[in-house]
Structure 1
Amino acid sequence: MNLSLKKSKVFIIGVAIIVIVTLVFFLFNQGKDAGEAVEEYYSHLVKKDYKKMYAMLTKGSLARTSQKVFETRYENIYDGIEAKNMKVKINEINDDVVNCTISMDTIAGKVSYDNKITVKNDEIVFNEKMLFDGIEGENKVRVLTDNASRGKILDRNDKELATIGEAYSVGLVRGKLNGEGDYQAIADLLDMGVDKIKKIMSASWIKDDSFVPLKEIAKDDDGKLLADQLLAIKGVKLNTVYVRYYPYGEVTSHLTGYLQQVNAEDLEKHKNEGYSETSLIGRSGIEAAYEKDLKGIDGKKIIITDKDGKEIKIIANKRVKDGKDIKLTIDIDLQKDLYNEYQNDKSASVAMNPKTGEILALVSTPSFSSNDFILGFNSEQWENLNNDALKPLTNRFKATYIPGSSMKPITGAIGLDAKKIEPNKDLGALDKWQKDSSWGNYYVTTLHAPTPNNLKNAIIYSDNVYFARSAVEIGKDELTSGYDKLKISKKIPFELSLNLSQYLNKESKFDDQKLADSGYGQGELLINPVQLASIYSSFVNEGDIFQPYLIIDQKPKSWIKSVFSKSTVNIIKEALIGVISDSNGTGHAIYHNDIELAGKTGTAELKSSQSDTNGTELGWFTVMTTNSDTPILITTMVEDVKDRGGSGYVVEHMKKPLGNYLY
């Protein structure tokens, strides 16, 4: 064979091999490229990059669909169903057809469906199922919401403190209005501006027969009167709507809290928790503390409808889950009695079962109505509420106050356990006292210096000097150790947030003068009413303190075990009984001859110096049963009692709430 023939054969064989390898390579990579193209397409969908998705499609498959329409459809569907965690799984590739499964999490649950996608020349042939399962022609994707009912807040006897109530939705029907001629009259009745009404009525969706809501108003007697005035205007229409309702209004508002429309911060904080721009959220009290339980979970259903809006297919369905009812330990009748007695005062009241820690009442006065937050304020109403000198928005049972003489039995108990107080020792009655001349002109004074000047009489007569002297004798280490054992300055384990009590400012140090003042409840002591009530419960619990709680299905839980010895408790309890039973006792006005009561009054001075005559006073009174079948302890603090009887004012107003509860 000649050389040229050999070269021809080699050349032909080489070309053949190249062709075969190229063909194999092409066929192999055709399927791989198709799958990758589909994966790339859906990766752009995950990133919401609709522009790049559109660029990957064959122009013929989208000849009648502009890029803008394409992007808008994708955005509306996938934002509407809140798609996330989107994945595409390539199941099989046949020639240029990719069999795949598309899955995602949505507002109504997981969605998964199969599709066949054709890839030609590295471009994807669009089919409507790529847009979403069930889409063809003029079909649309819709999300339906079944709103969850918010759980009720109940008292211990199932009386509703927060529930569902009715209100009027006031709206306008444009086609029946006298133009804009009556806008001013409507605005005046609804306390809203004419410009706001005009803005609402300018919305593009409004037709002549549309009901356009403006505001919700109460369906009480005043609301019905207002409704009659509004209905006299042509074009005004009222619909009944269901709203959050607080039957006891001001009586429970600081306890239950209230709802408000979510803001941008709420939406960010509670992202993917089912809130929208129109949602309401618990803003304070039980409504806020148990928002997650009370809210419930809205039902969501993703459906495909035809061009007329008729349902033709259900894609996903998450059933509604109504909110959970929250049942409190509160006795609303006692809550109401305490509120009524002190409603015109700046006060805080805490009632508890001292044997369990159950909170029976939690009152702050003056108050506001949670219902007003549901129906809304105009700017003038909101300004008046915020600028009210009595500060009705201030939650006083959350705050801390100077305890005054309420602290004396606690000082006595710390001193007894520290072996620094001899209960029967007569210290000698003194109207005023100072440790030594280093105090200069500063003296501790008292209104009552009993004889003999022992622990029991000092508590019954509320002798400042006795407890100032005792505190100095107890000393800084033992006194602060006692405070620490009572967890003063520590967080109180409670369903609602309470301010921290303290026995000393952070920047301060105890000297003998501060020690003396602390002994009778002045100095830098600040006590939360819930904590003070809890401490007093130890005197009828053999020295144990139960954790205060508000939710009735909880079980009593020990908080501080053996905070005082049993012998100390018995000595202090006997003195506290004397405060009520002894005719000279500061709480004798509430004495009952058929029920043994123990208690302590307290008057705390708020003044800039010892010589200040313009300062004000806080009045305290704690009263409790010692061996009743109806155990109860009530602590009340009232501000500004100077020249109104001091703590005696609080005692007098305690008679009715306590009597109603016990009998």
Structure 2
Amino acid sequence: MKRIFLLLTAVVIVVGAGVLIFNGVKKLLPAIGEEKAEKEPETPEELLLYYMACIEDGKYDEMYRMLDAQTRSEISEEAFAERNKKIYEGIEAADVRVTVTQAQESGSQAATVFYDTTMDSVAGEISFSNQAVFLKRTGEEEGYPYALVWEDSLIFPGLTAYDKVKVTRDEAARGTIVDRNGRLLAGRGTGSSVGLVPGKMPDNEEGLPGETEVMDSQAELGGETAQSRVEDTSEAVEAEEENESVIRLAELLGVSTESIRKKLSAKWVKPDSFVPIKTIQKLTDQELMAEYPSEETIRKKELQDALLAIPGVLITDVEIRDYPLGKAAAHLTGYIQQVTAEDLEKHPGEGYRSNSVIGRSGMELLYEKELKGRDGCEISIVDEQGNKKATLARITKRDGETIQLTIDAGLQQALYEAYAEDKSCSVAMDPYTGEILALVSTPSYDSRDFIYGMSQTLWDSLNEDERMPLYNRFRQKLCPGSSFKPIIAAIGLDTGAIDPNEDYGNVGLSWQKDASWGNYYVTTLHAYDPVVLKNALIYSDNIYFAKAALRIGEKDLTASLDKLGFGQEIPFEISLAPSQYSNEEGIDSEIQLADSGYGQGQVLVNPIHLAALYTGFANDGNVLKPRLRYQSDAKPEFWLEQAYTQDTARLIEEAMEQVIASPHGTGRSAYREDILLAGKTGTAEIKQSKTDTTGTELGWFCVFTPQKNADRPILLLTMTEDVKGRGGSGYVVGKSKEVLNYYFSRE
């Protein structure tokens, strides 16, 4: 508990007709955990303040030492400590403030101290006025000059020895996460709780522990009578040898027999109790009735049958946190877990308890405060029959909020299915509002596995998988390859370094500036004429953009990229790796500068950042701020106003239309007769050196609808690893076409 603050203001002691006024307490009270004070408490008011201060560190023995002889004859020290401990710690009393309002002597042997108390509790602030009676000790008695006459009402006015202080909790429902159309992404679902009924287990003659009076939903604190104040509990008895049912159940559920035995030994367990062991995926009626059940359904049915064959096993429905899209949205939604001791220490006073859950990643973590809500709680005094006598404090329950995202669940699912077997990530957004329509990283994991209980085997397999399913690729920075060329083109045009109509001349498929480059050459895949900007984008000419970067120069290129958000935090709800153009402060060689022109060198770009930069070509040069939180009246918000001039944006957009429409365009496979598209492909080489033939390739494709009046506007950017030998960026174009076909044709 926090430090108890003691206040003594205008204390009036009435002695006959005389009045003595104390304006404060100097060093009268020993501070808890510190050296003893210069002066011990002597007067009744000082003793009261000291008594209340002892609550802070649970010094119930010291409090008991202050009681008068009659009180100590009626209640043992153990019962006294237990009563106070249960109540004060049960309500989580903290920051207790005491103000003495008056101290009045009653003859020469007694004094009454009137005081006000305010304290924080699990149900909010508790305030009350009270009084305490002190008796003057005789010369033969040891201890302080005055002894406290203790009654239960000293804890709370009106509390008797036969009453209990009850804490009743009303658990708040965690908020849901939904897509733009209200489709559930994370929220309430139904699972199957697998458990044991001890009385129906064979060989269960060992006995079970007794019942405790403290339950999950409510706790009754300090309820012993004056005659019997020690709670009667019985010890848990464990079987000497593991029950066969326990062994078989542990094997099927992937848990330890020790964990099962521990749950069976809990104090609340009775022979007819249902003791939950683990939650598994529910086998739905639809799955059971399926004419051609999936492999997953068959597996779930076999597991359920095997579990029910174990004597004592029962399966019942239980409410769980569900993620309907499963692996398709796991990196986006994240997951929740039970709080740990570290969580409770990190979030004091925020309403977390040992059985609470907390968001660990994704939206569950990002919007934890909004999703969590606030549990309702009431602290009351109840009599022996359970009737409420008084309410001491109450907090009204507030359920968590519904978080609506800009995500299109159908598009999210389609992108996941298209790239499920690849190491890939995709960003889909509305190019005219900045709304993110999908964020996918593959391969993936299932958020529900953290709800059902992640087995060690599954956890190890996820961590040891070389494809890294736990790795969130859309948060990283990656080599963009030729998908970066439109950005270089825009910088070249706006700095005046590039004349779009200048013919750079056909130099073949390899080129170097001069002999100073040694054996280093820039290579490209296609020869064409004339070598002007538009054709360079259509054919994705590395040599053209290497020359363009050299003309722009290191100073103007790095300054322009700085203005486009490189090296800066990207304004987005999710934390993203900042893009870079160099591992150092600048670009330190001509070769690195030339390579940067076609997205190689040391250029690394976050996919969401790159997608946002492409919105500038669709919005007259204004780069939109990407956003994930849905608004019914979505309006575009500029992140980088006039990142490119209007003429530059239009010229590059028209060239990217030809990347799709031209028979020579690298994105030709995505061409449609019915919908105008613009885009750019990219293949990034990831290798140790120019001569390395063992490296891999990243394939990129960014495509968007360049007309604001499009029925279903979209900007789709995808990166896929290991496309070498699989068609390079052409592999990504083909997959993206499948997704666009779904998006444009659905009802």
- TM value normalised by structure 1: 0.93
Cα distance, 1:433 vs structure 2: 1.2
**1:354, 1:223 → 2: CA distance?**
42
Give, in angstroms, the shift of residue 186 of structure 1: 1.6
- For residues 423-464 of structure 1, what are the alpha-carbon distances to aligned partners after superposition, in whole Å with 9 as ceiling and x for unaligned? 011111121111111111011111113210111100000000
Aligned amino acid, residue 611 of structure 2: A
CA distance in 1, matches of 2:471, 2:438: 17
CA contact (8 A) 1:450 1:463 kept: no
Aligned twin of 2:290: none
AA paired with 2:170? Answer: D
For the 8 Å contact 1:449–1:458, the answer to whether it is kept is: no
The 5 Å alignment of 1:118-267 reads 118-121=133-136, 122-179=146-203, 180-220=243-283, 221=297, 222-223=299-300, 225-267=302-344
Asked whether 1:38 is paired with 2:38, we answer no
Residue 611 of structure 1: how far off its partner (Å): 0.8
Q: CA deviation at 1:264?
A: 2.3
State how far apart, in whole Å, the 2-side matches of 1:343 and 1:169 are: 30
How far does the alpha carbon of each residue in 1:528-564 deviate from its partner, in whole angstroms, 9 at most, with x for none? 1000000011001010011100001275321100001
Between 310-319 and 151-160, the greater mean CA deviation after superposition: 310-319
Q: Distance in 2 between matches of 1:478 and 1:343?
A: 41
Q: State the shift of 1:119 in Å.
A: 1.1
Provide closer, same or farther for how the CA distance between residues 29 and 456 of structure 1 changes in structure 2, counting only shifts above 3 A: closer
* Contact 2:178/2:402 (<8 A) preserved: yes
1:42-121 mapped onto 2 (5 Å cutoff): 42-95=52-105, 96-121=111-136
Q: Give the match for residue 16 of structure 1.
A: none
In 1, the alpha carbon distance for the partners of 2:646 and 2:586 equals 33
Match of 1:393 in 2: 470
1:7 aligns to what? none
- Per-residue CA deviation, residues 467-520 of structure 1 (Å, 9 max, x unaligned), is 001101110011011101111111101111111111100366421111000000
Between stretches 241-250 and 552-561, larger displacement belongs to 552-561
Work out which of the residue numbers 682, 686, 694 in structure 2 matches 1:614: 694
Q: Secondary structure at the match of 1:63?
A: helix
Q: Is the 8 A contact 1:255 1:286 kept in 2?
A: yes
Q: In 2, are the aligned partners of 1:334 and 1:360 still within 8 Å (CA)? A: yes
Seen in structure 2, the aligned counterparts of structure 1 residues 404 and 587 have a Cα distance that, compared at 3 Å, is: same
Distance in 1 of aligned mates of 2:690 and 2:629: 44
Alignment partner of 1:344 is 2:359: no
Deviation sequence 1:576-612 (CA, Å, 0-9, x none): 1110011100001111122211100000000111111
Q: Distance in 2 between matches of 1:589 and 1:641?
A: 16
**What SS does the corresponding residue of 2:584 show, helix, strand or coil?**
coil
Residue 585 of structure 1 corresponds to: 665
* 1:575 has 2:655 as partner: yes
Instruction: Decide which of 604, 608, 614 is 1:526's aligned counterpart.
Output: 604
The AA in structure 2 aligned to 1:453 is V
Other-structure match for 2:681: 601
Residue identity matched to 1:188: E
User: Do structure 1's residue 654 and structure 2's residue 669 form an aligned pair?
Assistant: no
How far apart in 2 are the matches of 1:535 and 1:508?
Answer: 21
Whether the aligned pair in 1 keeps the contact of 2:554 and 2:587 (CA below 8 Å) is: no
Please state if 1:516 is matched with 2:601: no
Q: CA deviation at 1:184?
A: 1.6
8 Å contact kept, 2:245–2:312: no
1:635 paired residue number: 717
CA contact (8 A) 2:485 2:537 kept: yes
Contact 2:511/2:523, CA 8 A, preserved across alignment: yes
Cα distance change on mapping 1:425 and 1:331 into 2, 3 Å: same
Query: How big is the shift at 1:265?
Result: 2.1
**Residue 484 (1) aligns with residue 569 (2):** no
Distance 1:599 1:433 in 2: 26
Report the Cα offset of residue 379 of structure 1: 1.0
Q: Does 1:368 align with 2:445?
A: yes
Deviates more, 1:360-369 or 1:214-223: 214-223
Q: CA deviation at 1:309?
A: 4.6
Shift of 1:29: 8.7
CA RMSD of aligned residues (A): 2.1
Given residue 403 of structure 1, which amino acid in structure 2 is its aligned partner?
P
Deviation at 1:567, TM superposition (A): 1.3
Percentage identity across aligned positions? Answer: 48
Q: Is the 8 A contact 2:558 2:586 kept in 1?
A: no
Letter aligned with residue 150 of structure 1: R
* Distance in 1, Cα, partners of 2:342 & 2:585: 35
| Structure 1 residue 312 displacement after superposition | 4.0
d(CA) in 2 for partners of 1:67 and 1:507? 70
In 2, Cα distance between equivalents of 1:30 and 1:350: 71
Any idea what the Cα deviations from partners look like across 1:616-657, whole Å, max 9, x if unmatched?
100000000011242210100000000000000000111121
- What amino acid does structure 2 have at the position aligned with 1:127? E
Using a 3 Å threshold, how does the CA distance of structure 1 residues 371 and 453 change in structure 2: closer, same or farther? same
Any idea what the Cα deviations from partners look like across 1:117-140, whole Å, max 9, x if unmatched?
A: 101122211111112344312322
Structure 1: unaligned runs, 5 residues or longer:
1-22
2-structure distance, mates of 1:34, 1:27: 16
Shift of 1:390: 1.2
Aligned pairs for 1:195-594 within 5 A? 195-220=258-283, 221=297, 222-223=299-300, 225-307=302-384, 309-430=386-507, 431-506=509-584, 509-553=587-631, 555-594=635-674
Distance in structure 2 (CA, Å) of the matches to 1:341 and 1:609:
32
CA distance in 1, matches of 2:691, 2:114: 91
Give the partner amino acid of 2:100: I
Report the Cα distance in structure 2 between the residues aligned to 1:532 and 1:28, rounded to whole angstroms. 78
Deviation readout 1:99-152 (Å, 9 max, x if unpaired): 222221211122122222101122211111112344312322121111111111
Matches of 1:203 and 1:166 in 2, distance apart?
25
Residues 61-112 of structure 1 deviation map (CA, whole Å, 9 limit, x = unaligned)? 1223222322222222112111122122223333211222222121112212
1:294-318 deviations in whole A, cap 9, x for unaligned?
Answer: 0100111112233455544332221
Q: Which amino acid aligns with 2:511?
A: W
- Cα distance change of structure 1 residues 61 and 228 upon mapping to structure 2, 3 Å threshold: same
Helix, strand or coil for the counterpart of 1:54? helix
Q: Which letter does structure 2 place at the counterpart of 1:626?
A: P
* Structure number having the greater helix percentage: 1
Structure 1 Cα separation of the partners of residues 255 and 354 of structure 2: 22
CA contact (8 A) 1:503 1:526 kept: yes
What's the counterpart of residue 293 of structure 2? Answer: none
What is the DSSP-based 3-state SS (H/G/I as helix, E as strand, rest coil) of the residue aligned with 2:307? Answer: helix
Gaps of 5+ in 2: 1-14, 24-41, 106-110, 137-145, 204-242, 284-296
- Check conservation: 1:110, 1:316, Cα contact below 8 A: yes
